[in-house]
Amino acid sequence: MRPKSNCPAEATLLVIGGSWKVPILWHLSGEVKRFSQLRRDLQGVTQKMLTQQLRELERHGIVSRKVYPQVPPRVEYALTPRGRSLLPVVAAMCKWGTRWQARLDCCAGVQP
């Protein structure tokens, strides 16, 4: 078990750390989406991984899940107010990535 850290950034990483969580937040930033829409948007994600990541985000109060009682069931995902409060973080990550992406691509695998 890892000792508790005093670094607040670790709390953020606990919530948004994961291969697909930030892209999920980005894709939900503009609208409510169904599972199948998210899966199409996130090319390369498996159904199992998307389900897992959405459940973790839901458990942290970042994403809400609404199930409509119909056949077949319709499930929609949306950002909660807590989730929307992370959008400036995601925007800052996008800005940083845009600025440094070319340099990172050319140096992939090279240690600084």
pLDDT of residue 106: 61
Cβ-count burial 54-93 (b if 16+ within 10 Å, e if not): bebbeeeebbbeeeeeeeeeeebbebeeebeebeeebeee
Instruction: Output 18-23 pairs: Cβ under 8 A, ≥24 positions apart.
Output: 18/53, 18/56, 19/49, 19/53, 20/45, 20/49, 20/50, 20/53, 21/53, 21/56, 21/57, 22/90, 22/93
Q: What is the per-residue pLDDT for 18?
A: 87
Residue-wise pLDDT for 68-81, tens only, equals: 998 888 999 999 99
pLDDT at 73: 86
Going from the N-terminus, what domains does the chain have, and what CATH number goes with each?
A: 8-101 (1.10.10.10)
pLDDT in tens, the chain (112 residues): 556 678 888 988 889 998 899 999 999 998 999 999 999 999 999 999 999 999 999 999 999 999 999 888 899 999 999 999 999 999 999 898 888 877 776 655 544 4
